[in-house]
Amino acid sequence: MAKQEIRVELLSDPRLLKAIRGLVREYTAGLGVPGDQVAEVVLAVDEACANAVRHSYNLKKDGQIELRLCAEPGWLEIVLRDQGIPAPVERLRRKATSAPDKETLTPGGLGVQLMYRVFDDVEFQPGETQGNCVTMRLRLSG
């Protein structure tokens, strides 16, 4: 399989999340990923985008978000960048609990945990003073 890449730039408008889900759904399904897993990837990327809209840009609709979908033999890699407020590191940690965590449902907290549960590797890189970058990787079989 040759490397397959799509890059999109979007403004931080929550109305656009549905269109991005459609793009990610078609792209991931096109790689031959099974349907259940496609739905999980769509969810996790939607969570990442929603966090950029809600937290990086505080729901302002003029922030820049950059999404890069990239597939090479064996790996799907999705990178999301924004130029907004860097996320606090405490919010980005993977939680080890397997118990129901209704009490700890912090704003944006659940989305980050869903990203960790869907992807094989998730790396957050908040900027020193501005911006965020998250790289999500999934092993592809076959």
Partner 1 sequence: MAIEIENQEKDGDCLIKVTGEVDLYTSPELRGAILKADPQGGTSLGVDLSKVTYMDSSGVATLVEGLKTAGQKRVEFVLVSPSPPVMKVLQLARLDTVFEIRDTM
By CB under 8 A, name the one of 27, 28, 47, 57 that touches partner 1.
47
User: Does an H or E element contain 132, and which?
Assistant: strand 132-139
- At 140, the amino acid letter reads L
Q: Which stretch binds partner 1 (CB under 8 A): 3-11, 42-50, 71-79, 85-93?
A: 42-50
Other Cβ atoms within 10 Å of 19 Cβ, number: 11
Q: Which residues contact 27 (CB under 8 A, 6 or more apart)?
A: 4, 6, 69
Q: Shortest approach of partner 1 to residue 81 CB, angstroms?
A: 18
Between 4 and 58, name the residue whose CB sits nearer to partner 1. Answer: 58
Q: Are 110 and 118 in contact (CB under 8 A)?
A: no
For position 50 contacting partner 1 by CB under 8 A, the verdict is: yes
User: Which residues bind to partner 1, rule: CB under 8 A?
Assistant: 14-15, 17-18, 21, 39-40, 43, 46-47, 50, 53-54, 97-102, 105, 107, 110-111, 113-114, 117-118
